[in-house]
Structure 1
Amino acid sequence: MAKNNKKPRKGKELEGHSAANPLPEVKRFKAIQQAAQFPSTCLVRGFGNIQWGGESLRYEHRTRLFRLLSHLLMHHNWAEASGALSVLIQGTIKDHSLSGNRAKYTAALELLSVIEGENLRSRRIQDIYEVWMKKIGLLRYWHTKHRFSVQLEVILTCLQRGNMRDAYQAALGLKKECDFDGDAVANLVVGLTFCQVWYSGLPEELQLTALDSSGFGLQSEILIDKIHMPIEYSEVDSPHEAGDNSNIHCGSISSVANDKEVGECDSNKNPMDTETKEKKETSCSSYELQNSREESAEPNGISGSSFSDCSGDLPQASIFLTQGLPPWLLPLKLPISHENLEDAVRMHRNLLNEDYKNAVKHLRVALHTTPPAIEALHPFIQMLILGDQVHEALDELGTLFQNSETVLQLRLQASLLEHFDSGNYVKLCTYFEDILKKDPTCNDSLSRLVLMHQRGDYDTQSLVEMLALHLDASYGTCDTWQELASCLLKLSQCEGDRESVCNSGNDSDNRGCLDDSNRVPELFTCGESGKSWRLRCRWWLNRHFHDRILMSEIASGDLKLLSFKAAAASHIYGRQFKYVVKTTKTVEKQDDVELYSFLQTHLLNSVGFCTVKGRS
């Protein structure tokens, strides 16, 4: 039998330090025996003494150095951190672990960026990554999820520093690696690289500047040349939901981001007339765009979302016919007028080159790999929209993650539908409701439902449920409480009108139907909704209407918040509720006629469907 002369691979120990591994019993016994005869051996081998128990002083010192380095970096003690890092690198020359090398060389990159600042050359960064790669050994010995880690770090660092050329070359090299096609994260980073390369090659007049995209803050992500690059996915507010709830009573007439407030238009004008007018103005342009796309060839094999293959469900299924798309969806300057629309469409289609196709391809692979890289969803949809493939973007959103729709997916679907099919109120309401059910703190989705309710496209009872769901997860603003009070007043009046209709006859059995208790809507008393409202009302006593909260709000002097909360409380707990009585006296003392009149209107029409003993 041939003798196996294969050397042990260097990357065998993935996460531990080699000095920490205990020796076999025989070697351990001989080491102790030798240490007893020659005490200096302890220093050579790193033993503490002849009673060595398996863990060396060298390993303990290395562990302390790692902790010390992390502490110094956290407190920005750059000089001391440089010294600790120098000692650590010299003392861990033979360390092949992933975590240890990551800690050392990321610290080295951070120190270099701080010390040299803008003078830091790309070559210095490349040198650090090359040393890092050598220290972790051959890639084929590592697990798939660790195999491309350093190469991905190189690409992301180059992108963050605007070094497109090196990032592009590193991405091309990564594509040649084994098992690349099945790695979702690797495809995500390579796809983002092609996104940046393609966008940086666009004419400057089409690219957005920092001033163009101001006001559209992105959360849990960074902007690299205006293309979305996620750092870590988290279910937080989307970019267009970064604002507070102050827009709950004013917003766009037809879409989320056309920057027109309701106050700029006639309040008596029907918003549907405005939408109809806008659609009529774009009808001729639609015909021109259809003809231009039918006549133009399909360069690079890219299938656009033209009107020729539009099913009619989306009347404006083109980015050239829809104004007001925010930069987080479309980071591109499109022509405002439709005079040369045909030339604009032809020029745009010529821009969709191989880099664009590769970006879409790798982002799609990242989403369809098991498990998928969900971070690729936003840039993937963004690239499809940049390529004017609106239908494909909607189809992808409808088929991805069908078993468990994410908040981001719902927000993207709602935004696209709002811009390209704003008349589909039923579907829009469903999306916003689903978003609120998954993320009840979302102010933007709630404000959309309020606007749709004010236009008559969303019923009052459903809005009350969504407002209550939002207040279960947050403390609410003045506008939220005002809207809840108005909806509760409207529901009680509708219920009273219904009872009066029942009483319109001379039937003696209907006498007494005008009692206040008969004006309580069934939403708060019957079935599962009644049960949940009874629980909610008891919970809100401590969450929103506790005596301590009342005193704090009175001391703050926010009469609007007090009045709107008291108006809602009068409908829930009755006009004799302590919060209502105290607020009424406070507003009366401040001699605020408008707020006092508002409060009295609600008090005189309040129902008080939840009676609370000992709290009135």
Structure 2
Amino acid sequence: MTKLEIEEKPKIFEEENIKPKRRRREISSDLVLEKQYKRTLLCVAKPSYLLSIGSTSHRIEYINELPKILRELLRQRNWNDASRVLSVLMQGTMRDCSPMMNRLKYEAQIQIVSHLQPNRNKADEIGKIYDTWIGKIGKQHKEERLLVWFEQICHFIEHGMNGDAYSAVISMMQNRDFGMLPRSNLYIGITFYKLWCSKFSKELQPEDEDCGESISNMPESRSDNLVEYSVRDESVYSVESEGSVRNESESSVMNCKRVSHMSISDSGSGMVMKKVKLESSQHYNNPPRLYASSEENEVSLENGVARTFDPALVKILGDMDPWLLPLKPPEDPDCYVKMVNDSYYKEAVRYMRLTLQSPSYVSLASLHPLIQLLLIGGNVDEAMKVVEEMCDKVHDIKPFRIKALMMERFHPNSDMLAKSYEDILMIDPTCVTTLKKLIEMSKEDGYSRESLIEMIALHVEASFPDPEIWEEFASCFIYFFENLDEDRMSVCLNGDGEEENQQQTYSVRYNPTPKMFTNSSWTLRAKWWLNRHFSPEMLETEIKKTENGDFETMKMMSYKAACASHIYGREFGYVTKVYDQLENNSDYRDLFNFLQEHRQNWNMIYNLDYFTKILEYY
């Protein structure tokens, strides 16, 4: 083979390997229309088909938007559209087993099932939804699985399915995965508590039917106080909107709708209380001893049951504040003994006591129901001991409120009652109800004015007080200046005093600042209140209200001015302007006389020179 043939042969092979190009098949317009028509039918019949259209990134974007759309539809109560969106979301997130996504989907499904076809009995259907939900939660998410299990139990009890609830709680107790979880004892104890209350609902029903809800009337969504300590991630996957979260600071298994006048906690900023009386019902200065000896006491506490029926104790418990004890024990001895010897009661007390050994965020949630059980069982001493230990353990207002309410009934004349009120105000200085109780104690039980004025000052720092508080504040100031100790005054003798009949004159000079007002905290308060309560802008706003005939505002301004005259002096700008307002209006003669009386007292806590630079803008 020649050299030329060798060089030309590869070219021949290359030409033989070249394939002819395929001709494009022309697609008719009818076929295109038929394809579009089939796709449209799929989109209508199967909404999840839309998720498969487009690129992977577009599909992820669609899925991320669906929770927001679903949440908004639920907020608008558009159940039909929410059901369709939920169907698409279910299909698109079949492999997503995260707790947040599961909670969104199944809580939404429960709400939709509850509101669609309201006349149908849906308790069993919702129970099966909980079963599916629990099965979707992996074993690595033990806390979430335990919480959903407890929510299912609450659903059973709410709908009178106590047998299913009992079976579920027994399964929960036997589950090894939950043995070491801190909330497991809490949920088990609460379940037995609710079963016990449901079993003896007639015996425990308060005399006032408007007092509260039945123990079974729990909200469908388990966002109540018993679960509020559970750790949940707040995200877009939460079904509940921000406005649907219950604004409750108390934790009780059975909260009363009616707010008692003895309640320490305020039910809102708009709460109005004309007067708080500590002796609104009978007090028992010497509560009966419940146990004959310490040995009997230990045995009784072991079972959580009082050995004897004590009618005096039942009477005290019947008069307890509804917030603390909404359940009223029966006066029938046989019925009472039957209740406190019930197996549900014993198991509830047992697991609640075990919960006290858990971390504080769990034990605090069990405190209120445990105290209710101990009081009904007659274990008053243990209940007080548990509350005091919790007060030392956590810095939370709930145990202090419980302690104060118990002190009111069992130790009303004790000095510790005032200390309990002070502890509440140290944590929550805005609690006007507790402050008014201290004011009543200062008038009737000798509570010191020094302590009272300090508590009022805390309240003034943290809130915008009612006129009654400003009035009492002014009265405390004038009390201090009118009852100064001898070491606060100097008596100067004018004259030589040699002649017996010679008239001698004396001048008495007071220390302008009582000792308690010389510390730095009161100085800071005086500066802070200048901008918070006595600023020109605040005064202008209040004057505009009085121009429209707002008598309460005028009253508050008068009492505030009386306080300001003692703190900053009678020539203080707020005082003089309010004084002029009252002087020119004959309708406010009593308020004018009140302010004039306080303004005539020339004593003041701080010199005007001290605040000269601050007061220049008046």
Calculate the TM-score normalised by the size of structure 2: 0.73
| Distance in 2 separating the partners of 1:384 and 1:505 | 68
- Taking a change above 3 Å as real, the CA distance of residues 533 and 583 of structure 1, as seen in their structure-2 partners, is same
For 1:236-251, list aligned pairs within 5 A. 236=249, 240=263, 241-242=265-266, 250-251=275-276
Q: CA deviation at 1:488?
A: 0.7
Check the 8 A contact 1:305/1:318 in 2, yes or no.
no
In 2, Cα distance between the equivalents of 1:507 and 1:390?
69
SS in 1 for 2:398: helix
Residues 1:593 and 2:618 aligned together: no
Give a deviation string over 1:536-590, Cα, whole Å, max 9, x none.
Answer: 1111111001111112112212221111111111111111111111111212222
Unmatched segments (≥5 aa) in structure 1: 1-42, 50-54, 259-273, 311-315, 336-340
Q: Is 2:345 the counterpart of 1:351?
A: no
1:327 partner SS: coil
Distance 2:50 2:563 in 1: 78
Q: Contact 2:562 / 2:595 at 8 angstroms: preserved in 1?
A: yes
1:375 aligned residue: 365
1:222–1:230 CA contact under 8 A, matched in 2: no
Identify the match of residue 198 of structure 1 among 193, 196, 200: 196
Match of 2:146 in 1: 148
Q: Is the 8 A contact 1:306 1:317 kept in 2?
A: no
Q: Where does residue 569 of structure 2 map in the other structure?
A: 574
Residues 535-550 of structure 1 mapped to structure 2, 5 A cutoff:
535-550=524-539
How far does residue 324 in structure 1 lie from its aligned partner after superposition? 2.3
Q: Work out which of the residue numbers 540, 543, 549 in structure 2 matches 1:554.
A: 543
Q: Deviations along 1:500-522, whole A, 9 cap, x unmatched?
A: 5x6399999xx997335x14211
Aligned to 1:398: 388
Amino-acid identity (%): 32
Q: Aligned residue for 1:165?
A: 163
Other structure's SS at 1:116 match: coil
Given that residues 114 and 122 in structure 2 are in contact (C-alpha distance below 8 angstroms), is that contact kept between their aligned partners in structure 1?
A: no
Matched-pair contact (CA < 8 Å) for 1:184–1:372: no
Q: Please, which of 598, 609, 612 is the counterpart of residue 602 of structure 1?
A: 598
Question: Does residue 105 in structure 1 map to residue 129 in structure 2?
Answer: no
Partner of 1:362: 351
Structure 2 counterparts to residues 221-236 of structure 1, below 5 A: 230-232=226-228, 236=249
For the structure 1 residues 465 and 606, does the alpha-carbon distance in structure 2 shift closer, same or farther, using more than 3 Å as the test? farther
In the other structure, the counterpart of 2:377 is 387
Bigger mean CA deviation after superposition, 104-113 or 156-165: 156-165
What's the TM-score, normalizing by structure 1? Answer: 0.74
* Residue 521 (structure 1) aligned with residue 517 (structure 2): no
Check 1:385–1:45 CA distance in 2 against 1; reply closer, same or farther (3 A cut).
Answer: closer
1:91 positional shift: 2.2
Q: Which has the larger radius of gyration?
A: 2
2:92 corresponds to: 91
Mapping of residues 467-546 of structure 1, within 5 Å: 467-495=456-484, 499=488, 503=491, 514-515=508-509, 518-525=511-518, 530-546=519-535
In structure 2, how many angstroms separate the alpha carbons of the residues matched to 1:62 and 1:589? 69
Per the alignment, in what secondary structure is the counterpart of residue 195 of structure 2?
A: helix
* Cα pair 1:73 1:81 within 8 Å, conserved: yes
Please give the alpha-carbon distance, in whole angstroms, between the structure 1 residues aligned to 2:124 and 2:304. 41
**1:416 CA drift (Å):** 0.8
Inter-CA distance 466–242: structure 2 relative to 1 (3 Å threshold): same
Distance across 1 between alignment mates of 2:81 and 2:270: 46
| 1:178-202 C-alpha deviation (Å, 9 max, x unpaired) | 1434323232222222112112222
Residues 447, 165 of structure 1: alpha-carbon distance in 2 compared, 3 angstrom cutoff: farther
Name the CA distance, whole Å, in 2 between partners of 1:438 and 1:235: 16
1:67 is aligned to 68
Given that 2:317 and 2:328 are in contact with CA atoms closer than 8 Å, whether structure 1 keeps it comes out as no
Q: Which residue identity is paired with 1:571?
A: H
Question: Structure 1 pair 440/320, CA: closer, same or farther in 2 (3 Å)?
Answer: same
CA distance in 2, matches of 1:513, 1:236: 56
Instruction: State whether residues 413 and 431 of structure 1, in contact with CA within 8 Å, keep that contact through their aligned partners in structure 2.
Output: yes
SS of alignment partner, residue 531 of structure 2: helix
Aligned CA RMSD, in angstroms, stands at 3.9
The separation in 2 between residues aligned to 1:151 and 1:334, in whole angstroms, is 31
Worse-superposed segment, 473-482 or 365-374: 365-374
Q: Which amino acid aligns with 2:516?
A: L
Distance in 2, matches of 1:609 and 1:299, equals 58
Name the structure 2 match of 1:450: 439
Q: Secondary structure at the match of 1:119?
A: coil
Please report how far the alpha carbon of residue 148 of structure 1 lies from its aligned counterpart in structure 2 after TM superposition: 1.6
Q: Give the residue type in structure 1 aligned to 2:92.
A: G
Take 1:47 and 1:206, find their aligned partners in 2: how far apart are those partners?
60
Q: 1:231 to 1:551 in 2, by over 3 A?
A: farther
Give the CA deviation at 1:319. 4.0
Deviation at 1:205, TM superposition (A): 4.8
CA distance in 2, matches of 1:204, 1:81: 40
Residue 381 and residue 199 in structure 1: after superposition, are their counterparts in 2 closer, same or farther (change >3 A)? same
Q: Shift in Å at residue 248 of structure 1? A: 6.8
Question: Is 1:450–1:463's contact at 8 Å kept on the other side of the alignment?
Answer: yes
Unaligned runs of at least 5 residues, structure 2: 1-48, 230-246, 252-258, 497-504, 547-552
Quote the Cα distance in structure 2 between the aligned partners of 1:118 and 1:476. Answer: 49
Of the structure 1 ranges 91-100 and 538-547, higher mean CA displacement relative to structure 2 is found in 91-100
Superposed, 1:116-127 pairs within 5 Å as: 116-117=117-118, 119-127=120-128
Alpha carbons of structure 1 residues 406 and 321: separation in structure 2 relative to 1, 3 Å: same
How many pairs does the alignment contain?
A: 513
> In the aligned structure 2, how far is the partner of 1:248 from the partner of 1:593?
25
Contact 1:496 1:519 in 2 (8 A): no
Alpha carbons of 1:375 and 1:561: their partners in 2 closer, same or farther (altered >3 Å)?
same
**CA distance 1:130–1:290, change in 2 (3 Å):** closer
- Counterpart-to-counterpart distance in 2, 1:503 and 1:319: 61
2:417 counterpart SS class: helix
Residue 302 of structure 1 is matched in structure 2 by: 303
CA contact (8 A) 2:470 2:563 kept: yes
Which amino acid is the alignment partner of residue 199 of structure 1? C
Task: Name the structure 1 match of 2:324.
Answer: 329
Report the CA distance between 1:253 and its aligned residue.
Answer: 3.8
Q: What's the CA shift string for 1:110-167, capped at 9, x where partnerless?
A: 1111223353421110221222233335xxx324323323212211333444543332
